[in-house]
Chains A and B, each alone.
Chain A
Amino acid sequence: MTSRPLMRLKLETSATEVIGSTARGTLSIWPIVGGSFDGDRLHGDVLAGGGDWVTALADGTSELDLRVTLETHDGALIHMTLTGVRDDAHHYFRTLPRFETAAPQYAFLNRLLAVGVGEIGPDGPVHAIEEIL
């Protein structure tokens, strides 16, 4: 499977909102208050207002369900969603980002699938996202 780098996404989160034990697992919401993204074809900032709905499952893994708005350096808005798996016991944190935009210069994002490798850095989550070719 071939891929090429799309962007490195850094997220700034505020205090986690723990909803608690639900029918599927333990739900926590990580509010996203900012951040940045940088790649060869696009770069810009993460707008405040997004979040990651994280459900810790009984098997020790967590399911991620992230929604955020990206603003490129030239003023385009990109709706980004991401689902993923975080399995700390196996050092596995992989995601499937998707993008929607109306900006013609970034319309290529509407037509691609991508995979992310996540890590929790000292300043918050960082996702290295690659386009699936």
Chain B
Amino acid sequence: MNTRLLMTLQVKVATPQNIGAVAHAARRTAPLSGGTFEGPRLRGTVLPGGSADWQLLRADGVLEMDLRATLRTSDGGLISMKSFGLRHGPPDVIGAIGRGELVDPATYYFRTTPRFETSHSAYLFLNRLITVATGDRRPEGPIYTIYEVL
């Protein structure tokens, strides 16, 4: 698979809202309080309003992530981002992440598939891209390295 770097996105996570046990899983919503993104073709900030990660911890231990964020580029364009992802790993590693410890991202699987929507003429190329990302869950929030699938 050929890819190229689209951007690095660093988000800040506010206090999670634990919805709790739902059918076959546990649900948690992690609001995003802000963030930044930077790449060869675009950079800017994450708007805190409607941005959050809606998470479902499945019975098989896999965390399903449904992240939605609004990005504002340095020249004022608004981009809606939706990203489905999966995170799982050895119990001790996932436990360390839960305790807010710094963990080597190579020790667990954290991958997402962002899609973008914008009406800004400079960024229309995003509308037609499939992308994949690797995640690195830092104590203050995840860092996503997002690649365009060529």
Contact = CB atoms under 8 A, between A and B. Distances in A.
A59 B127 contact: yes
Interface string A1-43: 1010000000000000000000000000000000000000000
B113 A110 contact: no
A113 B130 contact: no
Contacts of A110: 60, 62
Interface string B111-137: 111000000000010011110101000
Contacts of B86: 111-113
Name the residue in A107, A111, A112 with the highest tally of chain B Cβ atoms < 10 Å from its Cβ: A111
A132 B62 contact: no
A113 B147 contact: no
Interface stretch (A44-52, A72-80, A86-94, A119-127): A86-94
B72 interface: no
A111 B109 contact: yes
B88 interface: yes
B1 interface: yes
A43 to B, nearest CB: 21
Contact of A1 (B1, B60, B88, B109): B1
B3 interface: yes
A115 B127 contact: no
Contacts, number: 51
B128 A130 contact: no
B34 interface: no
Interface of A: 1, 3, 59, 61, 84-85, 87, 90, 92, 94-96, 98, 107, 110-113, 115, 117, 130, 132
A113 B113 contact: yes
A107 B128 CA distance: 31
A120 B3 CA distance: 22
B111 A111 contact: no
B107 to A, nearest CB: 14
A92 B124 CA distance: 15
B149 interface: yes
A92 B130 CA distance: 10
Nearest to A90: B128
A1 B134 contact: yes
A85 B128 contact: yes
B112 A85 contact: no
Q: Which 9 A-B pairs have the closest CB atoms?
A: A94-B130, A3-B1, A1-B3, A1-B147, A113-B111, A96-B113, A61-B128, A94-B149, A87-B128
